[in-house]
A = this chain, B = another copy of it.
Amino acid sequence: RGGSSTSTSCPDLARINAEFCSAAYYDWSGVAHGCTRKLGMKICGFLQKNDSVDDKSRIVGFFNEQQPRSILTRDPRFRRTETDFSNLYARDLLPAKNGEEYTMQFLLEVVDILTNYVRKTFDRSTKVLDFHHPHQLLEGMEGFNLELCDQPESLEQILVDCRDTLKYGVRTGHPRFFNQLSSGLDIIGLAGEWLTSTANTNMFTYEIAPVFVLMEQLTLKKMREIIGWPNGEGDGIFSPGGAISNMYSVMVARYKHYPEVKIKGMAAAPRLVLFTSEHVGHLLMLSLKSHYSIKKASAVLGFGTENLILLKTDERGRVIPADLEAKVIDAKQKGFVPVFVNATAGSTVYGAFDPINEIADICEKYHIWLHVDGAWGGGLLLSRKHRHKLNGVERANSVTWNPHKMMGVPLQCSAILVREKGLLQGCNSMCAGYLFQPDKQYDVTYDTGDKAIQCGRHVDIFKFWLMWKSKGTIGFEKHIDRCLELSEYLYHKIKNREGYEMVFQGEPQHTNVCFWYIPPSLRLLPDGEEKRQRLHKVAPKIKAMMMECGTTMVGYQPQGDKVNFFRMVVSNPAVTRSDIDFLIDEIERLGQDL
């Protein structure tokens, strides 16, 4: 077996662990393998005390990972060919003469690796990750060398590289991976992605992507209908992620109010100001404060970050409309021009929904572009039970909505939707004569290239379209309702539980549940700076242990004056109540002695 995550500063332990593991392969204490010494010992001790069947099966599962069952061999109906790939190279595959057979065999081997991975992803007895430090992977694990060479490697080595890449990665579809807003591994979406990469085209014109271009058009229309724009009219495009979608919204707002900026630059406009919540979203890296997509957009587009004005929020993280109005008035008095307000529908940390209707009133009153960032919360529009949280979204001028988050679509899939037709085109087109180009034999209004800031654009639509076909709108609704129920379950489970404190009170609006775990040693400390300092370190320590053990992953971050807390989210359909229970058990197991 390759390296363990044991620190290289402790080579003896690595050796001992390795021997230990091979000697006592199915032994309990084998769990120490893959964890740091101190942690390994702690877990071993814990497990010896708690010899439950559930734990046992989990641990044994760690080792089963080393004996994958092939879908092609375990089922007698499929027998795998015994091709020797050690003397075959990429050059022997198609388009090489007679390369078809080798190509098919090679692809089947890859599929075998991938389907094994899929199977294990859903298997709770496997780890979420097999953590290694950067220097360990860079030094090269046994048989896995990341360096690129002049000479080709055999297909056998390529297959090993594929296996190792998955082995040392993170199973984002595992039912106990709670680290990101995007999680899960939807089988239909996966099939859609495999097809997309096989089709290998881009979204620039109908000419080279006829089906995908139409699917995008129909799907965007459906999304606009769900938002509530009359007849689904308007425009939109799929972009490479929520940050870019939000950037589009700022660009389009600028173009609407100051179209001359396109030609003359920002010098042609007065001092423009933008508004967004101090809590605003896309904080994917949860321990990194102030990473905001609207802030990035203000820097990129030439507004300047100091012209982004942050709005106060209530204790639940929702923008206070009165604060917006006061700041709009203040900006105008200073001679600045308020041009854009972002209302967040589902903030990244708290899952807060800003009161869109009240914000829309202010935007209408002062003629400001209203954008709703529903990257995370947009999916709730599909739930009859929860869509009221976005009431007023139909009054927005533009909406960001990432199906790759709450709707479980594989990465990447993010849409920017714009209520007024023609603005995207006007904003990004570089060619006035475009619409009257008589050359092509088909209706070129379907070409999308000129709406985008990209030239070639990745095909993000197919997997989403295929998932929608396969689940129907009601399938997405069920999924969303279920995730929210699981969060309520977690909330009710911990809100009065010893050792827990909620970051904010009340049922979560989205699936975000934010909480501190307070280890026994801290519970009796008086409130004050010492307790704060110690509590600040608890979540990072537990997270580090989780990762080294590979049992589960959940995010944490500080927020304002609040020290590091856990942010739990659910978007993976594979999650059950038992996984929520597992997370809590794991936090307590790892955190009890801190």
Contacts and interface: CB of A to CB of B under 8 A. Distances in A.
Interface string A519-547: 00000000000000000000010011001
Contact of A430 (B114, B198, B291): B291
A343 interface: no
B179 A573 contact: no
A548 B441 CA distance: 9
Size range of the chain A interface in the assembly:
35 or more
Contact of A191 (B106, B288, B305, B544): B106
A77 B79 contact: yes
A284 B455 contact: yes
Given A287-B439, A472-B149, A241 B457 contact: yes
A199 B430 contact: no
Contact of A472 (B150, B247, B470, B573): B150
The winner among A251, A290, A300 for most chain B CB atoms within 10 A is: A300
A296 interface: yes
Interface string A448-469: 0110011111110010011111
Given A284-B204, A431-B289, A454-B244, A190 B185 contact: no
A211 B165 contact: yes
B287 A187 contact: no
Interface in A71-87: 71-72, 75, 77-81
Contact of A411 (B80, B201, B268, B271): B201
A392 interface: no
Contact of A456 (B165, B201, B284, B288): B284
A209 interface: yes
A584 interface: no
Contacts of A574: 94-95
Contact of A267 (B79, B271, B296, B441): B271
Interface stretch (A26-34, A60-68, A131-139): A131-139
Contacts of A468: 148
Nearest to A304: B265
B410 A266 contact: no
Interface in A153-212: 153, 155, 157-158, 161-162, 164-166, 168-170, 172-173, 175, 179-180, 182, 185, 187-188, 190-191, 193-202, 204-212
Nearest to A465: B148
Given A71-B104, A90-B467, 8 more contacts: A75-B104, A77-B79, A90-B187, A103-B118, A107-B118, A148-B222, A152-B470, A292-B430
10 contacts: A106-B191, A107-B187, A132-B210, A148-B473, A165-B211, A202-B412, A207-B547, A291-B449, A296-B453, A411-B456
